[in-house]
Structure 1
Amino acid sequence: MSEHGTALGGTAEAVWRLRSRGCWQEAAELLRPSAAHSPTAALSRAELLIEQCLFTAEHWEPAEDALRLAEARVNGTAQRAAASCARGFLAYVASVLGPRDRLDEAQAALGRTSAMLPPAAPGRPLLDFRRGLVAENLLHDPGAAWIAYRRAHDGAAEHGDQLLRSYTWQHLASLALTAGDRERAQEGFRASLRLREELGFTVGVAPALAALADVSTPGEAARLRAEAARLVQALGGVPVWLARRLRALPTPGASSDGRIEDQIPDGIS
């Protein structure tokens, strides 16, 4: 999710095109030569491979290796904070989708990041968002999650980070739906979908469609979920957790309350 130099120089557009279609390994390969000597490239490459873990629930070792390389390359407070933030996010993703609980590691790394970043730092919105993820999905504290997401949402707007804002819209909407505010949830899910379509973040469109379906009329919900399923199939089955949810849909005529349930927290991306 990080946009701190998702790529460098002339490779930026190529990396974005690959990333947006779920081709994280190919995008990471474009950054490999620069990552050997550039801390910024190393951090960007690590974030790409961590995002791959988020959407595929595998490929943990390449992400760990890339992050260790980035941690060894960084210099200066801002870069150390970015590496620590990435470490906390990888621990979070591994806790939710991976083989073991790494909550303590996630909290410690994000806490270190917070200590390094002043309130107005460019990296603060991403940190706030990731702290919201931990609060929502690991600590099960929706109040703390809402505060963190709200700070991230406002900060992303100030820094012009529209991709991060698509995530904050999604998670604020999910909390609104849990609280019973269907109208606010619809507003947030629609905004998230609109931003992802405008940005061309294709791999993130299917989760946004599925989320919007949860607050739509039955006919519209069926259309949105069918569109999400087509996108997931076209992208090779990612996000894997959404593919599982969509396969768990009841057959036509079966009773359903309109929501798809799974073991994976709603709105993870």
Structure 2
Amino acid sequence: MRNSGLSEPYGATGSGGPEGGAAQGDPLERAVWRLRSRACWDDAAALLAPRAATEPGQAVRRTAVLVERCVFTGEGWGAAEDSLRAAEALAADDEERGAAACERGHLAYASTLLGVRDRADEARSALGRAAALLGPQSPTRPLLHFRRGLIAQHLSDNPSDATAAFERAHAGATAHGHRLLLSFTWRHLAAMAEHDGRLAEARHGFAESLRIREDLGYLVGIAPALASLAAVLPDAAEAARLRAEAGRLVRLLGGVPAWLAERLTPAADD
């Protein structure tokens, strides 16, 4: 499957960012979003550190930022693990413990997929624990569905379970107004459609994912969206143009996502 490589992550749902709500008026959250979307994860984590020391929600958000750095760069695993342990220690109720468990599952998944260390069992266990802790209406549950879909897609090679999980995540992201998560669910539902040979559906999904990321200014996620859409376009010239644009963005951001930089040939980047 051409578009079934490592998914970009998505940070803690309900803790700010581009999804809307009161956080849009929070200068700290706006600053963190700008830094994160431009691949400045260390700076974003530093801004969150004072509040993350005492607030469970911000501790999980800081962890999500550092896990995102791991996924995009393949580096920073120790810092993400330390932040995660701190978030787990601060969690005081089921929602907070479930959100922290969801981040542990994602960190373990990324470590496994990138070949750092096989933590597949830990990933499944942590997401199972999150499922038991989070209530049916929890704003984190759509993210949990999405991450369980990633495991089914990439670690278990179970397309039917992956599609079902992505569909649940898509519905939840729509209901909660989590636009960035919606860009991920569009992207992965499109990848499953591509896997099944439904290329028109795949093109629609990848295009929707790209549109949302451009609307949100999620710069670090635009290149993967461009490359995925290019892979299912029937027009070779247009596909080449999108791959070239993806290559330029990767270079602009200093070679991230690292996994995409490896795939884009020099000729496609010219």
**TM-score (norm: length of structure 1):** 0.91
Structure 1 runs of 4+ aligned residues shifted over 2 Å read 6-10, 247-252
Are 2:243 and 1:220 aligned? no
Q: How much has 1:12 moved relative to structure 2?
A: 0.7
1:119 counterpart (120, 136, 142): 136
Shift of 1:10: 2.9
**Matched AA of 1:95:** T
Q: Is the 8 A contact 2:244 2:269 kept in 1?
A: no
Q: Give the whole-Å Cα distance in 2 for the aligned partners of 1:98 and 1:237.
A: 19
Instruction: Kindly provide the CA deviation profile for residues 47-104 of structure 1, in whole angstroms up to 9, marking residues without a partner as x.
Output: 0000111111111011001101111111111000000000000000111114121110
2:216 matches 1:236: no
Other structure's SS at 1:180 match: coil
RMSD: 1.6
Aligned match of 2:76: 59
How many percent of aligned residue pairs carry the same amino acid?
A: 53
Match of 1:169 among 177, 186, 190: 186
Residues 62/245 of structure 1: CA separation in 2 closer, same or farther (3 Å cut):
same
CA separation of 1:251 and 1:159: change in aligned 2, threshold 3 A: closer
Are 2:165 and 1:148 aligned?
yes
Q: CA deviation at 1:153?
A: 0.3
The CA deviation at 1:165 is 0.3
Structure 1 CA distance, aligned partners of 2:61 and 2:149?
A: 22
Larger RCO of the pair (alpha carbons < 8 Å, separation 6+): 2
Correspondence 1:103 to 2:113: no
Q: Quote the offset at 1:116 in angstroms.
A: 1.1
Count of residue pairs the alignment pairs up: 252
Post-superposition offset of 1:174: 0.5
Determine the C-alpha separation between the residues in 1 that align with 2:30 and 2:106: 24
Calculate the TM-score normalised by the size of structure 2: 0.90
Is 1:5–2:10 an aligned residue pair? no
Note the C-alpha offset of 1:118.
2.6
What is the distance in 2 between the residues matched to 1:28 and 1:39?
14
Q: 1:211 offset after TM fit, Å?
A: 0.2
User: For residues 25 and 235 of structure 1, what CA distance do their matches in structure 2 show?
Assistant: 14
User: 1 CA distance for matches of 2:70 and 2:242?
Assistant: 25
Which residues of structure 2 form unaligned runs of 5+? 1-9, 18-22
Aligned match of 2:154 in 137, 155, 175?
137
Query: Following the alignment from structure 1 to structure 2, what is the Cα–Cα distance between the partners of residues 189 and 249?
Result: 23
Q: In structure 2, what is the Cα distance between the partners aligned to 1:115 and 1:53?
A: 26
